[in-house]
Structure 1
């Protein structure tokens, strides 16, 4: 087996920064109680100002004042790790969260689908960069080795046990994953790399160190198997972005909403599903939350299309108060059905796909303004169709030839003996709802050459009645 380890090098910071539209502004994450609040993480802009992790917030504000401050939240770290596990689930059926700040993916069985490892790795990196998370990736024959090697490598791919042993031997003791006390003891003995430890007699190591040291070395070399838990994706998507200021315009809400929809797209891709209805909630300080339900005519998972529909709905909304947070929830997740594409299609695609145009018109003009026609299981021509705004209709009844233009009401045909081309087709139906129809329908040609659909009463009495025209 081959395992890929994705080490999320600054998960807490990326989780906060991706929700802010001022990505280039200096930002620090702090924890602790006032007045002893310590800086836990800084971005590159804050580091350029001289701010460092471990510095007190008071000392940092003495040096510099122009930087943003956010809370270092352990629960949010877990949230983002689970979010990325949902994203990674599209690439592997075995995703593990057993290591903090890291994802372990079994990729041996996925290479046949996503191509050789260099191409697969590039795809993972593009996705993670698009989602806004910095990372390091290493491929190794076992998960313990992959995790340890990400401490010192990025882009390393170890394909066999011989190469693995060479890389493990060069691994610094401080970065090997051993416990701190064992690392301190080994360092005092003058040992710097794992290769020096591996050359020592095992019985000597077993007497002087805890059993976990030898077990960890065996796991790194693949001698001892590693049992990892398997991530199970959630049944619904829920995410929330809280602002550190009040937002009172629709335009300022677009960036966080776009970010939420990109997260939704990654979640849907991981579960191989789509969404047709979801709910956007805007939270206020003193007013009840504003709920904005979003419905589409067909299931989608493209973030851009979801964003266009949501933006059109949001522009029609009157905000009762400034917004403090925005929340998105999607629980109706039908299976994803790719749109069929012809291999022989040579015509250039339209400027905007019809599905996107339909959803934009529906969002701007209202749900009832755009509709389709669907067949209904009824033989009576007047009742064989209905308006449809949900995109779901019943399968049509197998009927004879029907005209493209059906008149709203039948009217007398001004010809005594038209030329009959087909018929009669008898329709007797509707006795149960009071709209009984007992007619014989014919396809006829009029004297001016047009094709018409006409009927007479079943007893042959009465005039010819015109019901529709054929194109």
Structure 2
């Protein structure tokens, strides 16, 4: 087996920074209210002299204008699970470790290509989402976890190479039990290479089985003992805004980020979304809900963003917005649309699916719809708005534009292109119809659908127009 580890050393800070457009000095603090210390700093704060471990009061004395936010460990856990759902795209065996995600990749390399290519794809996804990371690969998940903590890009692709790769790793970075590491340091054992050479019986007598089991998991002598992760069936993401927003335009940046997260989550599930809800949170627990529905499942981030923005721009805000939440429960399977090898569409032409959804977002749900059939063969009763996304195919040629009621066809006699098609029905409701339908071409070159009395080709009545 081969395991990749994605270490996320700045998970809590990146979760905050990715929803902010500015780059002012910002720090995360933790600890008691009267003794808070800095646990993370952004680039601007670091350049100003602030550092991790510094007391907040000392930092205020050094720099007066910076933002300090409490470190939200629960939010960091949510981001880790979200990124695990993204990693699920590459492997069905995904597990969580402190500030890290491990995934079994040996069977995925046949699908995504050799490790260098696989690594590049994995990095691209995490970078696009705004999370800094280190990646390593090794024959065991714990070894990959240790190597990612030592340096970025470490790759051990064979079990025979693992002992040599671990030899120079300091014991303080070995992820072994903390009490054992402290005792080993007092004995002069400071690298894993030194530790692995010690007699196992002596280690068992001094440290018990816990240390030996951790070593065996590290080198692959014991199973990893990790719980598998499965993505949830509901996507639920909430962003608390840094200030009250009174203008819809100010919601575009967080909306784009949330839609990007939704698309990444859908790619991990290999699925799509057909309906989701944007929930705008106001004071006193008041809500404004913006439903977004599609005629067919989609997962393209650009398309979903355009649709959501189009619906959002139609909303009149009753009060300032404090937070934005996206909830997607309708997550059906997704089959990408087929494309011809020699596609002759213009470079900037939109696929029909994207054009259709844009029109619905701008003009309303009832402006664009699919046609369905009824059990009544009369043209004026045969078509209806389809409730599902399944396309309706009429076995005979039918016009896309049916007139509300038939009208006489004036002018020269038309040229018959197809027909006749006999329609004799409606005796059950008093609106009996007996007609011969033809596809015709008028003197102006228009293609139409018209009928006349059975056995005749005069007195034409126009029923509809072909596009």
TM-score with structure 1 setting the length: 0.89
Which residue, out of 228, 234, 238, partners 1:230? 228
- Matched residue SS, 2:90: coil
Matched, 1:53 2:52: yes
- Matched residue SS, 1:109: coil
Q: Equivalents in 2 of 1:465, 1:317: separation in Å?
A: 49
Residue-by-residue CA offset, 1:67-100 (whole Å, 9 max, x unaligned): 1111211211110111001111111011111x11
Residue-by-residue CA offset, 1:361-382 (whole Å, 9 max, x unaligned): 3323333334454555542222
For 1:297, the equivalent position in structure 2 comes to 295
Matched, 1:438 2:434: yes
For 1:254, the equivalent position in structure 2 comes to 252
- Matched residue SS, 1:82: helix
**Is 1:89–1:95's contact at 8 Å kept on the other side of the alignment?**
yes
Q: Equivalents in 2 of 1:133, 1:228: separation in Å?
A: 24
For 1:26, the equivalent position in structure 2 comes to 25
For 1:17, the equivalent position in structure 2 comes to 17
Q: Equivalents in 2 of 1:13, 1:445: separation in Å?
A: 68
Q: Equivalents in 2 of 1:301, 1:434: separation in Å?
A: 49
State which drifts further: 142-151 or 346-355: 346-355
> CA distance change for structure 1 residues 56 and 213 in 2, over 3 Å: closer, same or farther?
same
- Matched residue SS, 1:224: coil
Matched, 1:173 2:171: yes
- For this pair of structures, how many residues does the alignment match? 466
| Cα distance, 1:225 vs structure 2 | 2.0
Matched, 1:35 2:34: yes
- Matched residue SS, 1:139: strand
| Cα distance, 1:435 vs structure 2 | 3.6
Q: Equivalents in 2 of 1:406, 1:282: separation in Å?
A: 42
State which drifts further: 112-121 or 241-250: 241-250
| Cα distance, 1:411 vs structure 2 | 4.5
Q: Equivalents in 2 of 1:445, 1:237: separation in Å?
A: 53
| Cα distance, 1:413 vs structure 2 | 6.5
> CA distance change for structure 1 residues 7 and 406 in 2, over 3 Å: closer, same or farther?
closer
For 1:75, the equivalent position in structure 2 comes to 74
| Cα distance, 1:169 vs structure 2 | 1.6
For 1:183, the equivalent position in structure 2 comes to 181
Q: Equivalents in 2 of 1:285, 1:415: separation in Å?
A: 67
State which drifts further: 87-96 or 439-448: 439-448
- Matched residue SS, 1:108: coil
| Cα distance, 1:12 vs structure 2 | 0.8
**Is 1:452–1:466's contact at 8 Å kept on the other side of the alignment?**
no
Q: How does 1:351-366 map to 2 (within 5 A)?
A: 351-366=349-364
For 2:103, the equivalent position in structure 1 comes to 105
**Is 2:371–2:392's contact at 8 Å kept on the other side of the alignment?**
no
For 1:428, the equivalent position in structure 2 comes to 424
For 1:398, the equivalent position in structure 2 comes to 395
State which drifts further: 131-140 or 376-385: 376-385
Q: Equivalents in 1 of 2:412, 2:50: separation in Å?
A: 97
For 2:6, the equivalent position in structure 1 comes to 6
Q: Equivalents in 2 of 1:30, 1:346: separation in Å?
A: 57
**Is 2:274–2:297's contact at 8 Å kept on the other side of the alignment?**
yes
- Matched residue SS, 1:85: helix
Which residue, out of 159, 173, 194, partners 2:192? 194
State which drifts further: 354-363 or 60-69: 354-363
Q: Equivalents in 2 of 1:245, 1:448: separation in Å?
A: 63
Residue-by-residue CA offset, 1:299-347 (whole Å, 9 max, x unaligned): 2211222222222222222211111111110111121120111112255
Residue-by-residue CA offset, 1:238-285 (whole Å, 9 max, x unaligned): 010112321112222111111111111111111111112211111112
Q: Equivalents in 1 of 2:447, 2:11: separation in Å?
A: 71
| Cα distance, 1:437 vs structure 2 | 2.2
Q: Equivalents in 1 of 2:154, 2:433: separation in Å?
A: 77
> CA distance change for structure 1 residues 382 and 215 in 2, over 3 Å: closer, same or farther?
same
Q: Equivalents in 2 of 1:420, 1:197: separation in Å?
A: 93
Q: Equivalents in 1 of 2:48, 2:443: separation in Å?
A: 91
- Matched residue SS, 1:362: helix
> CA distance change for structure 1 residues 369 and 451 in 2, over 3 Å: closer, same or farther?
closer
Q: How does 1:408-423 map to 2 (within 5 A)?
A: 408-411=404-407
Unaligned segments of structure 2, at least 5 residues: none
**Is 1:6–1:103's contact at 8 Å kept on the other side of the alignment?**
yes
State which drifts further: 406-415 or 212-221: 406-415
For 1:44, the equivalent position in structure 2 comes to 43
For 1:142, the equivalent position in structure 2 comes to 140
State which drifts further: 192-201 or 107-116: 192-201
- Matched residue SS, 1:277: strand
**Is 1:376–1:393's contact at 8 Å kept on the other side of the alignment?**
no
- Matched residue SS, 1:325: strand
Q: Equivalents in 2 of 1:447, 1:13: separation in Å?
A: 72
> CA distance change for structure 1 residues 418 and 61 in 2, over 3 Å: closer, same or farther?
closer
> CA distance change for structure 1 residues 185 and 375 in 2, over 3 Å: closer, same or farther?
same
Q: Equivalents in 1 of 2:446, 2:39: separation in Å?
A: 82
Residue-by-residue CA offset, 1:399-422 (whole Å, 9 max, x unaligned): 3x5567755433456899999886
Which residue, out of 111, 127, 137, partners 1:129? 127
State which drifts further: 331-340 or 218-227: 218-227
State which drifts further: 239-248 or 124-133: 239-248
